[in-house]
């Protein structure tokens, strides 16, 4: 139970009809969840307009309506509050409602196109090993110390974030690492949170269906750094040309990391193979079981962040050497037939290129690299031909297939992927719409010492077709077929 007046603290109010000195039970932005004495926040969304459901919310018992436009017909006894931006108001109210939980722990946000889950999850692992109680909000899962919850989004809505942070406060969590997606920033899901630090991994083509242009996508990411407080650190990868852009207007203390450019944390790769990575960071040698140049960046970010958060070098080095791969991120095994199967969440052109480059830099010429890949439906279409081009140029054979078709025709998606294949690579490709069959075919094609990469779905344990999610697990399926087809 809270007083409306208190949860409206710091929300800029444009107009109020009714009493703000009322006691409310809960806050919702979905009219279907509203119960007696709740607050309903009307949000203009991408599919519908929450303002159309104000009446429904009041019928369900809403005592308060927060909106950008007060309806012509108001109901006596209901308080209507007009704000400029409902999503922003929701985030500030959520923060107040749960007692400003981000202030009671050290919250670090990780943003960028690729590597957010990896960096946030590895920081969770590292600080847990160092003896702290830690929280994690990620694409794969939510962790409140060692209690696990399923993730619905990379960055959940502001009510959900603050609810988890409050649970973390109650569980005595000292550090929380969270992914900050561009949708999350644009929709004010992280507004009002007090961050102790922000990390930028990289920026490349993604979500250009949602953001109108690459510049807009970049500016949304930058807004996260613009809003960090002076007490926080802002740590960015300056080998990415947007790394410095992120730091332009931040009040936070600026730190940089890089493999190629001048930076506060500069690493050199000494060894890079299937055994792991040996790096030299400033004057320290850092060893990790993680594989590939892209993971050198992730490890460097983790090393720098752990130092900025107060761990000693000795502690960081010890725990980094113990970190294990995050589920569905370059997860691999070698079958009895000596075929290497890798499952990886590469679902952007840049990620796919990095993973294929890594495999090609490790494999020898007589081993084949067979890639199984597709693109998700109802998502940025312009990345499809790019991924088709990259997969066919950097693999010896490719089986194009479905990812999560969602509401699109899977064959049409595959055609758009194939459109990026250059004529000289036509002979390397085939298309099998059914992802299970595609994986089976790759297993049939593979010979001793070959490598199979199954890209795009990583940790996901479902395939979404026309709104229905059916069980589907790349790792499980490839494991089964490699056993069944044992030569
Ligand atoms: C495109 C997008 O980001 N949509 C998110 C957004 O929904 P929306 O505002 O567009 O919702 P809408 O359906 O138009 O409805 C508008 C409002 O009317 C309300 N409503 C609707 C019907 C009704 O009967 N009553 C009612 O009150 C809805 O609750 C909503 O408040 O706000 C919702 C609440 O926070 C999110 O769940 C929803 O995520 C959808 C499911 C989604 O697929 N999002 C993806 C694209 C996403 O957010 N991805 C990012 C990045 C992923 C990554 O790269 O890692 C992520 O952070 O996960
Ligand atoms: N630092 C990096 N630079 C480029 N590619 C990376 C990097 N780290 C991971 N990848 C690639 O991107 C894929 C996704 O990694 P990860 O899940 O950590 O990214 P993410 O930013 O959380 O993605 P999402 O936007 O879906 O949440 C990995 O499977 C790997 O192929
Ligand atoms: N967070 C990303 C994940 C994409 C994963 C891929 N498997 C797909 O379904 O397109 C998104 O929602 O766009
Ligand atoms: Mg993620």
485 pLDDT band, cuts 50/70/90, is confident
Which of 96, 123, 155 delimits the end of a domain?
96
- Residue range 20-38: average pLDDT? 98
Which of 294, 320, 346 delimits the end of a domain?
320
Separation between Cα atoms, residue 270 and residue 286, nearest integer Å: 10
- Supply the pTM of this predicted model: 0.94
User: Which residues form ligand 1's pocket by a CB distance below 6 Å?
Assistant: 29-32, 43, 45-48, 50, 53, 139, 153-155, 157, 181, 183-184, 187
pLDDT at 321 over 80: yes
pLDDT at 487 over 70: no
208 pLDDT band, cuts 50/70/90, is confident
- In contact, 152 and 164? CB cutoff 8 Å: no
pLDDT at 1 over 70: no
Task: Say yes or no: 353 and 444 in one domain.
Answer: yes
Task: Say yes or no: 123 and 255 in one domain.
Answer: yes
- Label residues 430-460 b or e (16+ Cβ within 10 Å = b): ebbbebbebbbbbbebbeeebbbbbbbbbbb
Shortest-distance ligand to the CA of residue 153 = 1
Task: Say yes or no: 344 and 456 in one domain.
Answer: yes
Tens digits of residue pLDDT in 119-149: 999 999 999 999 999 999 999 999 999 999 9
In what helix (H) or strand (E) does residue 198 lie, and over which residues does it extend?
Answer: strand 197-200
Expressed in angstroms and rounded, the spacing between residue 376 Cα and the centre of ligand 3 is 6
Structure tokens at 147: 């209690």
Q: Residue 347: CB within 6 Å of ligand 3? A: yes
For residue 92, what is the domain's CATH number?
3.40.1390.10
Task: Say yes or no: 385 and 426 in one domain.
Answer: yes
pLDDT at 206 over 80: no
Who's near 314: CB < 8 A, 6+ residues apart? none
Q: State the average pLDDT for the chain.
A: 96
Q: Residue 139: CB within 6 Å of ligand 2? A: yes
- Residue range 174-192: average pLDDT? 97
Give residue 459's domain range. Answer: 331-486
Tens digits of residue pLDDT in 404-451: 999 999 999 999 999 999 999 999 999 999 999 999 999 999 999 999
Which of 64, 96, 128 delimits the end of a domain?
96
Task: Say yes or no: 105 and 45 in one domain.
Answer: no
Provide the ipTM.
0.96
Domain count, the chain: 3
Which atom of ligand 1 lies at the shortest distance from residue 155's CA?
57
- Label residues 128-164 b or e (16+ Cβ within 10 Å = b): bebebbbbbbbbbbbbbbeeeeebeebbbbbbbbbbb
Task: Say yes or no: 117 and 64 in one domain.
Answer: no
Task: Say yes or no: 288 and 358 in one domain.
Answer: no
209 pLDDT band, cuts 50/70/90, is confident
Task: Say yes or no: 311 and 339 in one domain.
Answer: no
- In contact, 203 and 220? CB cutoff 8 Å: no
């Amino acid at each position: 139970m809270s007083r409306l007046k208190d949860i409206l603290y710091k929300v800029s109010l444009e107009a109020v009809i009714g009493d703000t000195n009322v006691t409310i039970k809960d806050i919702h932005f979905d009219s279907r969840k509203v119960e007696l004495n709740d607050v309903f926040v009307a949000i203009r969304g991408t599919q519908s307009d929450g303002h159309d459901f104000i009446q429904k919310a009041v019928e369900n018992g809403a005592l308060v309506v927060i909106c950008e436009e007060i309806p012509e017909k108001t109901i006596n006894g209901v308080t209507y509050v007009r704000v400029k931006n409902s999503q922003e108001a929701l985030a500030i109210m959520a923060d107040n409602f749960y007692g400003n939980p981000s202030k009671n722990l050290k919250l670090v946000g990780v943003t960028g196109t690729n590597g957010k889950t990896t960096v946030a999850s590895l920081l969770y692992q590292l600080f847990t090993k160092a003896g702290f109680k830690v929280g994690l909000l990620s694409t794969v899962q939510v962790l409140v110390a060692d209690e696990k919850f399923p993730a619905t989004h990379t960055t959940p809505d502001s009510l959900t974030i603050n609810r988890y942070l409050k649970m973390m406060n109650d569980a005595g969590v000292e550090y929380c690492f969270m992914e900050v997606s561009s949708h999350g920033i644009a929709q004010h899901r992280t507004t009002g949170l007090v961050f102790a630090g922000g990390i930028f991994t990289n920026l490349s083509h993604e979500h250009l269906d949602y953001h109108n242009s690459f510049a807009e996508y970049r500016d949304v990411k930058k807004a996260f750094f613009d809003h960090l407080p002076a007490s926080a650190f802002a740590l960015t990868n300056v080998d990415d040309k947007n790394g410095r852009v992120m730091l332009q207007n931040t009040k936070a203390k600026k730190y940089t990391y890089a493999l190629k450019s001048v930076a506060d944390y500069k690493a050199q790769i000494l060894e890079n193979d299937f055994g792991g990575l040996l790096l030299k960071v400033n004057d320290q040698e850092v060893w990790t079981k993680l594989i590939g140049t892209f993971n050198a960046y992730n490890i460097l970010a983790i090393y720098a962040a752990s130092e900025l958060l107060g761990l000693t070098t000795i502690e960081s080095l010890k725990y980094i050497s113990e970190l294990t791969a995050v589920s569905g991120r370059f997860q691999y095994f070698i079958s009895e037939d000596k075929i290497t199967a890798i499952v990886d969440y590469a679902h952007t052109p840049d990620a796919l290129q990095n993973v294929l480059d890594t495999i090609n830099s490790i494999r020898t010429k007589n081993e084949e690299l067979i890639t199984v890949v597709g693109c998700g439906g109802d998502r940025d279409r312009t990345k499809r031909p790019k991924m088709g081009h990259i997969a066919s140029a950097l693999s010896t054979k490719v089986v194009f297939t479905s990812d999560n078709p969602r509401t699109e025709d899977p064959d049409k998606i595959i055609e758009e992927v194939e459109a990026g294949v250059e004529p000289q690579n036509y002979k390397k490709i085939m298309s099998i719409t059914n992802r299970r069959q595609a994986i089976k075919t790759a297993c049939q094609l593979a010979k001793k010492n070959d490598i199979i990469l199954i890209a795009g779905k990583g940790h996901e344990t479902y395939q979404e077709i026309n709104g229905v999610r059916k069980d589907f697990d790349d790792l499980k399926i490839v494991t089964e077929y490699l056993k069944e087809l044992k030569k």
